[in-house]
Amino acid sequence: MQKVVAQTVLHGVYILTAAEGERRNGMTAAWVCQVSFRPLIVAVSVAPERYTFDLIDKSGYFALCALKAGQEKDAKHFGFVSGRKGDKFEGYKISAAANGSPVLEDSVAYLECKVVERVLAGDHTLFLGEVVDGKVLQGGEPLPFRWSDYFK
């Protein structure tokens, strides 16, 4: 049934980042959506075992960097290895959003969000984040998420 869900509910591909003290990290996330207009709130769905979960939970902030069409390699780099095993940002140009969340310069645009609510959702947690910063960087066509590009 997961493949049917993936054919029905469309997503983009993002690098979801967070920083806490000296620690910073990013992971690939597809389960992302806008949930409010006033104020602007987006939701990200993160499994508790992700290193990024820990950093979002402790810092109360996250950033979403939208990947461009053709950046599947970057999505795999950030999506199949944990930052607990090494610095995934090595070799990437990274800046910081207003509240310190890492920003991947080679992305379409980014948002930084302040966590306003956490909602348990099965085996994931939804972090609802109010948008506090953001900018269009390179612009261009965003990368659509296709289940078959990453999973069997």
Q: Is 104 in the site for ligand FMN (CB under 6 A)?
A: no
In the bound state with ligand FMN, the residue whose beta carbon lies nearer, of 127 and 137, is 127
Strand, coil or helix: 55: helix
- Produce one character per residue of 22-32: b if its CB has 16 or more CB atoms within 10 Å, e if not: eebbbbbbbbb
In the bound state with ligand FMN, the residue whose beta carbon lies nearer, of 54 and 112, is 54
Q: Is 150 in the site for ligand FMN (CB under 6 A)?
A: yes
Distance (Å, whole) CA 115 – CA 80: 25
Q: For residue 98, give Cα distances in angstroms to 29, 113, 131, 151.
A: 21, 10, 11, 34
Q: Is 83 in the site for ligand FMN (CB under 6 A)?
A: yes
**Minimum distance from residue 13 beta carbon to ligand FMN (Å):** 5
Q: Is 30 in the site for ligand FMN (CB under 6 A)?
A: yes
List of residues contacting ligand FMN (CB under 6 A): 13, 25, 27-31, 45-47, 50-52, 75, 79-83, 124, 145, 150
